[in-house]
């Protein structure tokens, strides 16, 4: 599933570079705002969702363009197509999460995609790749926890990490909808199967219990949080009934659990494409900021040991040597 990566000839690139500490660890590229790969078949698609999230955050004066981490314009030599650029953003976001303690990729979270199979609609396994990249390229990262709270089961990364004891997977999803992948379920350490129409109180209680439980069971070096918003009431495919406030609260619960344990967290926004979705994601990011759970200062880094932190900051990944398989 990685032909475009293996085929990349070694070459110089500036796509992966040190991100100035004045930047928010929020990764976004206007490339996100297109339909692609049949994604719209599974999720009714608000093609502009990701751009709108950023617009809302700008309106609220949380971010300005220069302080968001963007994909650099690709040179011809980079052989980059849109998908590759998205992929690079994901790697960048993973590294940023380790450096800063948190990062949000406004986009990403294609969790039905496994690295050997398209998974129906996913072009590539971005969560798998982000974790493998961190394992292989960033010292000090050898255990990861995936917290997948999209309405759908995340069978892609589950198949990828089936026999990998370095990765702990918690997944909460509507048990009756796509993909119902029984084989992949074997990889889930904490399985939270939800009924049709599950509402805030029950949902949040389960999320809290199992996120805390998962992190108490194993303290990872990185959390990848798949924050799908297709749990929202009215989503035609998710079949759950969580309110906008419930989603904001859910993200808060996850970030509190991660930050209080000083575990770096990478959030991806995944599914959920109703008209009001972008506003909810923006509100959630603003709420995290208001509560002091995210800040752009390096002082809030999740890395406790300053020497380790310095080492991480110095270990800029060299894309020209990249050969994830």
Q: Which is nearer to Zn ion, 264 or 271 (CB)?
A: 271
Q: 25 or 179: whose CB is closer to Zn ion? A: 179
C-alpha dist (Å) from residue 245 to 17, 71, 190 = 37, 31, 25
The single residue of 112, 152, 157, 210 carrying the catalytic annotation is 112
Q: Closest Cα to residue 57, out of 287, 221, 315?
A: 287
Q: How far is the CB of 16 from Zn ion (least distance, A)?
A: 29
Residues 169-198 that bind Zn ion (CB under 5 A): none
- Residue bearing tokens 């379920």: 185
Sole window of 10-18, 165-173, 224-232, 289-297 interacting with Zn ion (rule: CB under 5 A):
224-232
- Site for Zn ion contains 271 (CB under 5 A): yes
Q: Please report whether residue 158 would count as binding Zn ion according to CB under 5 A.
A: no
Question: Which residue has the closest beta carbon to Zn ion?
Answer: 271
Q: Please, which residue, 70 or 243, has the CB nearer to Zn ion? A: 243
Binding mask 8-47 for Zn ion (x = CB under 5 A): ----------------------------------------
**Residue 210: active-site member:** no
User: Which of 78, 126, 150, 221 touches Zn ion by CB under 5 A?
Assistant: 150
Cβ 300 to Zn ion shortest distance, Å: 30
Number of residues engaging Zn ion in binding (CB under 5 A): 6
- Cα–Cα separations (whole angstroms), residue 239 to 150, 196, 197, 233, 250: 11, 6, 6, 8, 17
Q: What binding mask, one character per residue, do residues 96-135 give for Zn ion by CB under 5 A, x or -?
A: ----------------------------------------
C-beta closer to Zn ion: residue 246 or 271: 271
Which C-beta is closer to Zn ion: that of 152 or that of 313?
Answer: 152
Region near Zn ion per CB under 5 A, out of 32-40, 83-91, 230-238, 246-254 = 230-238
- Of the listed pieces 11-19, 70-78, 145-153, 285-293, which binds Zn ion according to CB under 5 A? 145-153
CB of 30 to Zn ion, least distance (A): 23
Q: How far is the CB of 1 from Zn ion (least distance, A)?
A: 20
Is 152 a residue that touches Zn ion (CB under 5 A)? Answer: yes
Secondary structure of the chain in HEC code, one letter for each residue: CCHHHHCCCCCCCCCCCCCCCCCEEEEECHHHCCCCCCHHHHCCCCCCHHHHHHHHHHHCCCCCHHHEEECCCCCHHHCCCHHHHHHHHHHHHHHHHHHHCEEEECCCCCCCCECCECCCCCCCCHHHHHHHHHHHHCCCCCCEEEEECCCCCCHHHHHHCCCCCCEEEEEEEECCCCCCCHHHHCCCCEEEEECCCCEHHHHHHHHHHHHHHHHHHCCCCEEEEECCCCCECCCCCCCCEECHHHHHHHHHHHHHHHHHCCCCEEEECCCCCCCCHHHHHHHHHHHHHHCCCCCCCHHHCCCCCHHHHHHHHHCCCCHHHCCCC
What amino acid positions are annotated as catalytic residues?
A: 112
Binding site for Zn ion (CB under 5 A): 150-152, 228, 230, 271
């Amino acid at each position: 599933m990685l032909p475009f990566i293996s085929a990349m000839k070694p070459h110089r690139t500036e796509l992966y570079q040190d991100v100035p500490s004045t930047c928010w660890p929020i990764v976004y590229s206007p490339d996100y705002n297109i339909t692609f790969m049949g994604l719209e078949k599974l999720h009714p698609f608000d093609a502009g969702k990701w751009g709108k999230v950023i617009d809302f955050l700008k309106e609220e004066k949380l971010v300005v363009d220069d302080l968001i981490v963007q994909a650099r314009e690709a040179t011809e030599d980079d052989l980059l197509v849109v998908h590759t650029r998205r992929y690079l953003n994901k790697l960048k976001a993973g590294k940023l999460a380790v450096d800063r303690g948190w990062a949000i990729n406004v986009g990403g979270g294609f969790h039905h995609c496994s690295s050997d199979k398209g998974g129906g609609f996913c072009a590539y396994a971005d969560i798998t790749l982000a974790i493998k990249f961190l394992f292989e390229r960033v010292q000090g990262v050898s255990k990861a926890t995936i917290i997948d709270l999209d309405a759908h089961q995340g069978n892609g990364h589950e198949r990828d990490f089936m026999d990998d004891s370095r990765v702990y997977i918690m997944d909460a999803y509507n048990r009756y909808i796509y993909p119902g992948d029984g084989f992949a379920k074997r990889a889930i350490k904490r399985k939270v199967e939800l009924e049709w129409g599950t509402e805030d109180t029950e949902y949040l209680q389960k999320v809290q219990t199992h996120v805390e439980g998962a992190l108490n069971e194993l303290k990872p070096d990185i959390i990848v949080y798949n924050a799908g918003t297709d749990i929202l009431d009215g989503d035609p495919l998710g079949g759950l009934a969580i309110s906008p406030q419930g989603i904001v609260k859910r993200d808060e619960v996850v970030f509190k659990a991660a930050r209080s344990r000083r575990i770096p967290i990478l959030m991806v926004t995944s599914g959920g494409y109703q008209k009001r979705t972008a506003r909810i994601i923006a509100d959630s990011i603003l709420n995290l900021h208001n509560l002091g759970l995210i800040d752009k200062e390096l002082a809030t880094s999740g890395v406790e040991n300053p020497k380790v932190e310095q080492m991480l900051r110095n270990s800029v990944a060299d894309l020209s040597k990249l050969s994830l398989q």
